[in-house]
């Protein structure tokens, strides 16, 4: 009979071999791309968004749970959706989804002058104007004076990045995490309850998609207002390339996996909190 410790060792070795086979590119390459593309910062903001939503919802519930318990619940969110953990999950997903042949075109873009310029604009656009309504207003103004070619480039960027679907899914997953946190506060976070919450929010997805479809193009018009028409066209052409599409799909998968992993950790932590007085 094979001893248990030897069986465990074999299983571990097989798991590691499977992970190595599944990682199409090195984690160092995936990490470099995540930082250069802005995915690194995006994951940081997602965790903060979930925690802020939970804090707001718990505050509306009054003092029924007590300050100490609310602090423990928010600590669960900090741990489950911590930037380091989410980044590690997403980078692993990117590494497993990309092929070595995708990498040269990606690095050529992100290391180019225009690639640096676009990345800087994307990072600065949110801080430039914090009021979403004002950002939308300025974006609509920019879109109103844009040439047909510029509008076509913006539409290509919107389509290739799948931004509307990503925004809708991110909002749903973040809202589920917030509801899960609040349900954990009053002990109602059962599997059935969470399934109902997910079904309720998922049913609203078409409404979210319609809303973000109206907002996305002005948002891009605002974010890339500093790019000349030819620069915007070059960016759109890059996004339509095979390497960029592969990386975008990998990034979407990475964000989804990071949110899912965070939700699992949150649920496990909430169970522990609910068990304490």
Phi, psi torsion values for 191, nearest 5 degrees? -60, -40
Three-state DSSP at 204 gives coil
* N residues, the chain: 277
Tens-level pLDDT at each residue, the chain (277 residues): 333 233 333 333 333 333 334 447 999 999 999 999 888 888 877 778 777 877 877 777 655 557 777 788 788 888 888 888 889 999 999 999 999 999 999 999 999 999 999 988 887 776 666 677 888 899 999 999 999 999 999 999 999 998 888 888 877 877 777 676 666 655 665 666 667 777 887 888 899 889 888 899 999 999 999 999 999 999 999 999 999 999 999 998 888 888 888 887 887 787 777 666 6
In sequence order, what DSSP letters do the residues of 244-275 get, joined into one string? HHHHHHHHHHHHHHHHHHHHHHHHHHHHHHHH
Residue 113 contacts residue 192 (beta carbons within 8 Å): no
> What is the predicted pLDDT for the residue at 235?
97
**What six digits make up the tokens of 61?**
């519930």
**What six digits make up the tokens of 209?**
């998609």
Residue with tokens 């920019």: 142
Residue 180 contacts residue 194 (beta carbons within 8 Å): yes
> What is the predicted pLDDT for the residue at 185?
58
User: What is the Cα–Cα distance from 274 to 197, expressed in whole angstroms?
Assistant: 19
Residue 70 contacts residue 256 (beta carbons within 8 Å): no
Of 71, 80, 76, 79, nearest to 63 by C-alpha is 71
> What is the predicted pLDDT for the residue at 6?
32
> What is the predicted pLDDT for the residue at 191?
64
> What is the predicted pLDDT for the residue at 150?
97
H helical segments located in the chain: 4-22, 27-37, 39-60, 67-80, 83-97, 103-110, 113-128, 132-144, 148-161, 163-185, 191-203, 205-223, 229-239, 242-275
> What is the predicted pLDDT for the residue at 65?
55
User: What is the Cα–Cα distance from 15 to 257, expressed in whole angstroms?
Assistant: 19
Question: pLDDT tens-digit profile of 154-193?
Answer: 999 999 998 888 888 877 877 777 676 666 655 665 666 6
Q: Is the dihedral of CA 108, 237, 119, 89 positive or negative?
A: negative
Q: How far is CA 43 from CA 81, 88, 202, in A?
A: 9, 10, 22
> What is the predicted pLDDT for the residue at 196?
77
Phi, psi torsion values for 232, nearest 5 degrees? -65, -40
């Amino acid at each position: 009979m094979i001893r248990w410790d030897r069986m465990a060792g074999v299983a571990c070795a097989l798991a590691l071999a499977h992970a190595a086979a599944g990682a199409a590119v090195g984690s160092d390459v995936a990490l470099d791309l995540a930082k250069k593309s802005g995915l690194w910062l995006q994951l940081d903001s997602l965790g903060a968004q979930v925690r802020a939503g939970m804090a707001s919802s718990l505050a509306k519930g009054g003092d029924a749970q007590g300050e100490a318990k609310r602090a423990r619940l928010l600590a669960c969110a900090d741990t489950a959706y911590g930037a380091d953990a989410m980044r590690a999950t997403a980078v692993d997903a990117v590494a497993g989804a990309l092929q070595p042949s995708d990498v040269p075109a990606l690095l050529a873009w992100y290391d180019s002058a225009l690639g640096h310029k676009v990345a800087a604009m994307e990072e600065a656009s949110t801080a430039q104007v914090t009021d979403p309504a004002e950002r939308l207003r300025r974006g609509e103004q920019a879109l109103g004076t844009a040439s047909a070619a510029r509008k076509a480039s913006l539409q290509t960027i919107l389509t290739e990045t799948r931004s509307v679907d990503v925004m809708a899914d991110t909002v749903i997953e973040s809202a589920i995490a917030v509801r899960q946190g609040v349900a954990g506060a009053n002990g109602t976070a059962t599997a059935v309850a969470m399934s109902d919450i997910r079904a309720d929010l998922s049913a609203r997805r078409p409404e979210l998609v319609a809303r973000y479809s109206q907002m996305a193009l002005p948002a891009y018009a605002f974010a890339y207002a500093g790019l000349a028409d030819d620069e915007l066209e070059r960016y759109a052409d890059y996004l339509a390339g095979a390497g960029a599409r592969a990386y975008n799909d990998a990034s979407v998968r990475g964000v989804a996996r990071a949110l899912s992993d965070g939700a699992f950790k949150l649920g496990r932590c909430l169970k522990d909190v609910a068990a304490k007085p």
